Amino acid sequence: MRVSGGTSRFVSKKCRKLRWKPLSDSLQIGSEMFAIGSWDDEENEVTLWKSANNGDFQLVASVEHKGDVTGMCWQTTDLLATSSSAGQANLYKLEHKKLCRIQEWGELHGRGGGGATCVAAYGETLATAGEDGKVNILNVRQSNPVKVYDSADSCSINDIVFPRSSELLTSNMRGQMKLFDLRSNKQEASSVYMLSNDQVAINCLAKHPSQGHIVITGAENGLLAVWDLRQGKHPTTILSAHKAPVSEVKFHPDQPDHIFTCSQGGELWHWNGASIRTAGVHVSAMNGSGSLDTTSSPWLSSEAVKHKVETTSLISQQPLPINSIDVLGHSVLFGGDNEAFYILNNILL
């Protein structure tokens, strides 16, 4: 089955998270394999798929997953981590075309309150957060958490990301981001950032692939916000985006002037920040020493973004939510509550 320049496959389960398998060879242009985690089913699962040259798909591996898959990330090219609404985190290894669970961290988060909501990886370190406001730091080689922030937040944490190896950034349902210094013994956040006084939930986080201090967030009210973690406690730029809550936002891993978003309203958008540069707008930001940093991301240029960013809808609006999106090379992978996944190829950057 083909859909508007791409391919799709019905999988009979609602897709909560979809992630391309990382490239094992730098000469590779795109990945052939990707993982999907399901949700809102009596028996949820994590599946691994391979795309063929003829546009068809092959199910490579499938494994049952206790609870909804709420978060998913590749820790290496063959290690896949998930978080669960049952309150646990899992680590799977791809071996001989099978997904084998090699580690389970049980009861990390309270089951009654929605369990774990997200998982992130940096090197051998994993982090989970939950609706209980708790954060766990895990090492893939250890069965117990390395560090626990029992009261990282007083409300549900929606997403989590490592800006760099020693820092962890969380977003919550009250529109706050909190930055934790993993080297410190303190339980409190080292910095707190605020989206607005309206306490609109920040649903998702994405960090710039090469400049970890640049973060883009998607909110419950459909707005995107660009943050410079080095400066101030409020967004550098706010972009009017979707009419429905933003499900996920992703930087292109190799061309971060491009970002991709999907929404609970069934929308999938490509944002071309490179158009700011080509329009001749001078993009600059003050660096820590007080001098101009002209290599800065165009997303930090608020005036330029308002007038020069090109936004393209990649598909016609879907009737059901699109929950997850991932991008690699010229291919965009996405899926949601209509129980199918889609791949759009040859995306123009």
pLDDT in tens, 147-197: 999 999 999 999 999 999 999 999 999 999 999 999 999 999 999 999 988
Whether residue 42 is predicted with pLDDT greater than 80 in this model: the reply is: yes
Q: What is the pLDDT of residue 28?
A: 67
State what percent of residues in the chain have pLDDT above 90: 76
User: What separation, in Å, do the N-terminal and C-terminal C-alpha atoms of the chain show?
Assistant: 25
Alpha carbon distances (Å) from 270 to 258, 273, 289, 327: 7, 10, 34, 11
Band of residue 296 on the pLDDT scale cut at 50, 70, 90: confident
Residue pair 119/109 in contact (Cβ under 8 Å)? The answer is no
pLDDT in tens, 104-131: 999 999 866 679 999 999 999 999 999 9
User: How far is 160 from 104, CA to CA, in rounded Å?
Assistant: 19
Question: Which tokens sit at 218?
Answer: 């998607």
Q: What is the pLDDT of residue 149?
A: 97
Q: What is the pLDDT of residue 302?
A: 64
Q: What is the pLDDT of residue 73?
A: 98
What is the sign, positive or negative, of the torsion defined by CA atoms of 292, 296, 301, 307?
Answer: positive
Q: Which residue has the tokens 């981590």?
A: 81
Residue pair 302/224 in contact (Cβ under 8 Å)? The answer is no
Q: What is the pLDDT of residue 216?
A: 97
Average model confidence (pLDDT) for the chain?
90
| Strand positions, DSSP E, 173-243 | 176-181, 191-194, 202-207, 214-219, 224-228, 237-239
User: How far is 77 from 25, CA to CA, in rounded Å?
Assistant: 10
Residue pair 160/128 in contact (Cβ under 8 Å)? The answer is yes
Whether residue 1 is predicted with pLDDT greater than 70 in this model: the reply is: no
Model-level pTM? 0.92
